[in-house]
Amino acid sequence: MKKISWPLTALLAFSLMLPWPAPGSANSTETESTILINGEEHTFAHGPLHVEGRILVPMRTIFEIYGAEVIWHQDSQRAQAIKNGNNVEVTIDSHIARRNGETLFLDTKPRLHNNTTMVPLRFISESLGADVSWDSQKHQALINFPATEAVAESEALRDNSTNSNAAAVKDIPTDGSINNANLLTYDEAVTKAIQHSYQLKNKGQDIKRLEELRRDAQDNLTFTRPDSNDPRQIFADMMAKQALLGLVQTEIALEMTKKEEEVTREAIALEVRASFDAIHNLQEQLDLLQQSVAYTKASIEQMRLQARHGLVSEHQLAENVRKYEQALKQIEVLRKSLDNEYLKLDKILGINNSKDYALSYQVTFEPLEPVADLDMHIYRLAQTDPYIWLQQKQIERLEMNLRLYTYTGRDDPYAVRQIDLQKARNDLAELKLKLAEAMKSRYNQIRQLESNYAIAESKQKQAQQDHNLLRLNYNLGLTTQLTVEGAELALVESEKELEKIKRQHSQLKIIFEKPYLMPDYLR
């Protein structure tokens, strides 16, 4: 094996450490190129755009031409197009794309140009099933869909030219929002869950049953004038008391069931929210890990080149490959977890295809209003807490049992009922103490999350500045594309961390103001 001389080694090291030059076509320019789709020429209000040797076209127009079904994810600036079983996703200002679940690295990323979202023509077209070729002499992009689709494509093109409402994308405002039939909003999901809930249906039946029992108890209610010397009057008085007790207990049970129905409705809404949050969190983890895998793969390719010249060790290269393989396994684990969360949502909503919907759910960060006196705030909330209210109704029922007590030889002794009443009062006192402890703990968690959010926001701003600086350096030829991609990955990670904290904070605020939706104080 020949040894490389030190001067040559130093020269190689120096050349590999030099930043990769930015492509000469890094700056975007509009072009006179034409685009033929199934033999028909198409023009665009903006572009086509030449960027780094690739052609970019307006997202709205190309999706309309192809008749693709489109879902826009506003929070992540991600467009998802579906056509004939093909599913493609691209994100503005990101080199990471997905095609039928596979993560891909785009050499040219989608971007905004003159307030229009531009996407890579070849990637979009090929992902949706078309053949793409380039005629360099005529400066034409030739796009052809398979023969089985050609007729449908021609009809779609004619419809688009004669009927502006025929396209799958009805309208794409400049903010990127898209109206789509496959969108499932949080409110729609809550409505579905409430309609499906058998627990809620049974609560409704319980209310009807108790209303019938109340009417029956009212019909059986009698009034007597007891005469201690007449056994019949004494018995009649005892029966009247029993009837009155039955009516009062039925009234209390009816009130309690109606309150339980209200709580169940709110609990279902929170369950849907928690499911949405879990799916969003897992999807963001998956997206981030897939972007990290794409970045690691590119890093490994560079390290292999460096390893051949002795600039990095084989051990370092092997370690990166091992991490890459582990990340691929983690992706599969996350996908399974995400599938399980969708199955849970299916069960809540009573459907079997929630995965086919784009979950529309926006969370904003709003710090908790200052609480001057936490103990007084907790006291006020305790007055409206349904579980405390239910315990108070239970005490009322036991008190009525004592007031209308008549010993028949078959009921519990009076002293036993007194004990039951005192135990119920003790349970109420303990319940209030546990509620106060739970709320103080949640209050501290909220404040801690708000501090974490401030830190994460600062990191996100720094990551944005670092990314902008490296992007500028890349355009000037002072750094490598891989370095920019690393900064982009760090920026995405910081943004997703902010979103995660937003969701946690929002949910904690809800259960702070409505602690009965997560009644851990009942344990």
pLDDT at 3: 39
More confident residue, 431 or 58: 431
Mean pLDDT of 301-330: 89
DSSP annotation of 409? S
Dihedral of CA atoms 419, 423, 426, 427 in degrees, nearest 10, equals -170
pLDDT at 160: 44
How many Cα atoms are found within 13 Å in the side-chain-facing hemisphere of 454? 6
State in Å, rounded, how far the first CA of the chain is from the last one. 74
Strands 78-83 and 86-91: antiparallel
Q: What is the pLDDT of residues 87-125, one digit of tens each?
A: 888 888 777 788 876 767 777 788 888 778 888 888 888
Q: What is the pLDDT of residues 226-276, one digit of tens each?
A: 556 666 666 666 677 777 777 888 888 898 899 899 999 999 999 999 999
Beta strands across the sheet bearing 111-113: 29-30, 49-51, 54-58, 116-120, 111-113
Asked whether the predicted pLDDT for residue 289 surpasses 50, the reply is yes
pLDDT at 231: 65
User: How far is the C-alpha of 427 from the C-alpha of 435, rounded, in Å?
Assistant: 12
Task: Give the start-to-end residue ranges of the domains of the chain.
Answer: 34-144, 183-276+310-360, 374-418+427-522
pLDDT band at 341 (very low <50, low <70, confident <90, very high): very high
pLDDT at 224: 60
Mean pLDDT rounded to a whole number for the chain: 80
pLDDT at 17: 37
pLDDT band at 84 (very low <50, low <70, confident <90, very high): confident
Strand intervals (E) in 355-483: 358-360
Q: What is the pLDDT of residues 353-392, one digit of tens each?
A: 888 777 877 788 999 998 889 999 999 999 989 999 989 9
State whether the Cα torsion 88-49-110-473 is positive or negative: positive
Q: Exposure pattern of 9-18 as b/e (b: 16+ CB <10 Å)?
A: eeebeeeeee
pLDDT at 14: 33
Instruction: Let me know: does 37 contact 153? Beta carbons within 8 Å.
Output: yes
pLDDT band at 332 (very low <50, low <70, confident <90, very high): very high
Q: What is the pLDDT of residues 133-162, one digit of tens each?
A: 887 777 788 888 775 444 344 444 444 433
Residue type, 36: L
Asked whether the predicted pLDDT for residue 203 surpasses 70, the reply is yes
More confident residue, 205 or 80: 205
Q: What is the pLDDT of residues 487-508, one digit of tens each?
A: 999 999 999 999 999 999 999 9
Which of 23-37, 67-81, 371-385 has the weakest average pLDDT? 23-37
More confident residue, 164 or 297: 297
pTM for this predicted structure: 0.66
User: How far is the C-alpha of 268 from the C-alpha of 263, rounded, in Å?
Assistant: 9
User: How far is the C-alpha of 278 from the C-alpha of 294, rounded, in Å?
Assistant: 24
pLDDT at 174: 33
Instruction: Let me know: does 438 contact 520? Beta carbons within 8 Å.
Output: yes
Mean pLDDT of 171-186: 50
Residue type, 442: R
Q: Residue 309: CB partners within 8 Å, gap ≥ 6?
A: 4, 9, 12, 13, 16
Mean pLDDT of 388-417: 83
pLDDT band at 225 (very low <50, low <70, confident <90, very high): low
| Alpha helices in 368-480, H assignment, sequence order | 374-384, 386-403, 414-475
Mean pLDDT of 195-220: 90
SS3 content of the chain, % helix, strand, coil (to 5): 60, 15, 25
Taking domain 34-144, whether its CATH number is 3.30.457.10 is answered by yes
User: How far is the C-alpha of 190 from the C-alpha of 200, rounded, in Å?
Assistant: 13
> Cα–Cα distances in Å, from 312 out to 7, 192, 332, 350?
18, 57, 30, 55
Dihedral of CA atoms 86, 91, 94, 99 in degrees, nearest 10, equals -10
How many Cα atoms are found within 13 Å in the side-chain-facing hemisphere of 263? 20
Mean pLDDT of 407-434: 88
